[in-house]
């Protein structure tokens, strides 16, 4: 990106959304691997908690580098929503490839197996909850890879939109007089 041409909000959101999407793809690889190496499951969770921090850092960088240090709430919100949208679209490509060609039911079967292993020592109330989770995972397993991918896109975009509100509030800054 050169300094001579004006950079649009959409271009910058695409750039940072691509970086965020690559982060999500790397993070996603730790999810199935975490069933064989538990430390990677922990790393997946920690990286998931880092997503809003990374979103804030990217929005702040957008404000400081491309907006002259000041940004309105609406512009910060639009940037952050678009960034998460582009990240979700990029991550969806990896999700589709994974669920279509690699997974073969491994992820859902692993979750169901863990839940089944908890049942013998669980209380009656917990057993009911476990059964509901198993039923939910069974329903998810009936989705095709493309349906699952669209579900994940909408989920990631929804969470991104919800994260955009506090991020925009934290990033907005008025012009100094």
- Per-residue pLDDT band for 12 (boundaries 50, 70, 90) equals very high
Please write the tens of the pLDDT for every residue from 73-92.
Answer: 999 999 999 999 999 999 99
**In this predicted model, what pLDDT tens digit does every residue of 95-122 receive, in sequence order?**
999 999 999 999 999 999 999 999 998 8
3-state class (DSSP) for residue 114: helix
Q: What are phi and psi of 38, to 5 degrees?
A: -55, -30
Residue 174: per-residue pLDDT: 86
Lookup: tokens for 33: 């691997």
CA dihedral 23, 27, 28, 33 (to 10 degrees): 150
Convert the pLDDT of each residue in 137-149 to its tens digit.
999 999 999 999 9
> Quick one: pLDDT band at residue 6, thresholds 50, 70, 90?
low
Q: Where are the domains of the chain?
A: 9-170
**Using CA atoms, how far apart are residues 80 and 130, in angstroms rounded to an integer?**
36
For the whole model, what pTM was predicted?
Answer: 0.89
């Amino acid at each position: 990106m050169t300094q001579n041409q004006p950079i649009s909000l959409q271009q910058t959101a695409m750039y940072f959304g691509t970086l965020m999407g690559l982060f999500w793809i790397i993070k996603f690889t730790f999810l199935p691997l975490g069933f064989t190496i538990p430390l990677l499951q922990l790393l997946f969770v920690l990286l998931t908690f880092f997503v809003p921090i990374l979103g804030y850092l990217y929005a702040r960088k957008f404000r400081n580098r491309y907006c002259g240090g000041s940004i309105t709430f609406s512009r910060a919100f639009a940037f952050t929503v678009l960034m998460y949208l582009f990240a979700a679209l990029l991550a969806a490509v990896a999700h589709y490839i994974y669920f279509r060609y690699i997974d073969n039911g491994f992820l859902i079967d692993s979750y169901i197996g863990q839940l089944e292993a908890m049942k013998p020592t669980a209380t009656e109330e917990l057993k009911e909850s476990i059964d509901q989770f198993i039923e939910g995972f069974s329903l998810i397993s009936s989705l095709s890879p493309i349906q699952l991918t669209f579900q994940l896109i909408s989920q990631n975009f929804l969470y991104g939109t919800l994260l955009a509100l506090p991020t925009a509030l934290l990033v907005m800054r008025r012009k100094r007089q």
